[in-house]
Structure 1
């Protein structure tokens, strides 16, 4: 199923699995007969998964990822390491929570291998669902009641408007209203992201259209380079802005009273997300516990499943 999902071609999938084309056709037919549904639509140049097929492909990839994780963990243990943990995180925890956590992990588990993947909460939830990650530090969105993950909210994430320190609006030294921000040049996260939605809602509530002079970018290096070389504004989490302010690279834009509160009004806290804590490897459980103890968690004990 995984091979067919990747190639959409019986011959290519058979070659990748080192079996014959009739053999893979026979396996597919046996699986479809057992399930009582068609998993793929046969076409002249290949096969296309049906809705049933897409479901089976997703579960097949998850099973393969789980097996890969098991092999990697056993291999690490054989070579004297204590295991591997795959973390997924949104941007803000990279500024303080994760560096502090990793320092503590190195002290107590010096041989532990840790990989970190950054992305939006939506992207990370998909990766966790596919078995590609063990623990997330992100927001939990489950609009369609699809995941059923364990979620422990931790911290609010204030969002700030920021710019380079010699931006004309910074030099002007006054608090800015939505009208002041509407016609500026912006670097913004993509449509559908939480920050972008809250940003645009700020203007709609003021009976205005959002800015149209926008570059969409997620990569932080690209965002900061654009700000350093242009008179542009962006949105960044408070912890990230403070990090760059320490090096005089960026600074916070002062907003008029109530605008900052309106920008943050619907932002859900980010927190810890796992598929099932009982199924985590010992190394992942140890890292999860260190994350729990990091900082002062105002939501401690409130778990949603």
Structure 2
């Protein structure tokens, strides 16, 4: 029992076969059926069970017509699910690594990419790479770029500006975007079609990205050009979900990339407020770490470029239900 209290030493003799046997025992319900499914004799199956109970120091099944797990067995089941899941995932990653590929891709994106480009790219990418899972992170571009250089992200969809000209970062421009002033159904400006001066909107309740983000910097520059050197926002957020919730709940206006605006307008969740000037957002592209040579990343980049071209020429295959 002291081995159990030590927390680790008891498990040194534990084998993957023990964990496989336990999960099969619970699923099959009997020793005979579990042995058959694992291509073992019943005596061999009994041996594995006896060994595991010796290691645990307590019964792990209640024997009867139908086997049931004891509290100790439930704890071992939890361990089995965790360990065997990790073994399976690592096996897939090792197989992919041996082929110069990856089984998982971590992608970061700014708002502009989240509208249609990134979902379309991921959909097309996974049609060609069924075994690759994708994690998407939505953060300000500065944060994404830092994480890319630290290799915490594999690919970033973001602004191609001076910050992207890093010595070890490669990039490809995908499209040019603008910054739009937008309102939701909670705004008093919802339904208004007449253009407004940007300076006339200074006293509205603004929801904007934090200082230091590309979109906020472009808005601040446009306000200065319009003769309004200071804006006191009501809410600052880097999350598109928060922007949408605020604009459709209360009397707020905000800013959004033209790409995301077009997407949300088509779904009736936002309205573009026409103003007396164009606010340039800049080039949006895909960035990756030059020092990481991955066929999977390269495929993702090429698909992003092809998807962007296809969407802008109207030839993209939508996979919507």
Q: TM-score range, shorter-chain basis?
A: 0.5 to 0.7
How much has 1:73 moved relative to structure 2?
8.4
Q: Which residue of 293, 296, 305 maps to 1:292?
A: 305
Contact 1:188 1:215 in 2 (8 A): yes
Change (3 A) 1:171 1:100: closer
- Number of residues paired by the alignment? 220
Query: RMSD of the alignment, in Å?
Result: 2.7
Counterpart Cα distance in 2 of 1:143 and 1:288: 19
8 Å contact from structure 2 (residues 161, 283) kept in 1 = no
How far apart are 1:75 and its partner, in Å? 3.2
C-alpha displacement of 1:172 = 4.5
Q: 5+ unaligned residues in a row in structure 2: which ranges?
A: 1-86, 311-321
Gaps in structure 1 of 5+ consecutive residues: 1-70, 298-305
In structure 1, how many angstroms separate the alpha carbons of the residues matched to 2:155 and 2:165? Answer: 19
- The ranges of structure 1 where at least 4 consecutive aligned residues each deviate by more than 3 angstroms after the TM superposition are 71-75, 77-82, 140-148, 170-173
Determine the structure 2 residue equivalent to 1:114: 134
Of residues 254, 266, 275 in structure 2, which corresponds to 1:246? 266
Q: Per the alignment, in what secondary structure is the counterpart of residue 88 of structure 1?
A: strand
| Residue pairs, 1:40-59, within 5 angstroms | none
Residues 91-139 of structure 1, C-alpha deviations (whole Å, 9 max, x = no match): 1122111121122122211111221111121111100111101111112
SS in 2 for 1:157: strand
Q: Is the 8 A contact 1:85 1:113 kept in 2?
A: yes
1:220 aligns with 240
Out of 257, 264, 289, the position equivalent to 1:275 is 289
| Pair 165,145 (structure 1): closer, same or farther in 2 beyond 3 Å | closer
Match of 1:199 in 2: 219
Asked if the contact 2:186/2:250 (under 8 Å) is kept, the reply is: no
For the structure 1 residues 288 and 178, does the alpha-carbon distance in structure 2 shift closer, same or farther, using more than 3 Å as the test?
Answer: closer
Given the superposition, is the C-alpha separation of residues 108 and 225 from structure 1 closer, same or farther in structure 2, using an over 3 Å criterion? Answer: same
How far, CA to CA, are the matches of 1:87 and 1:276 in structure 2?
15
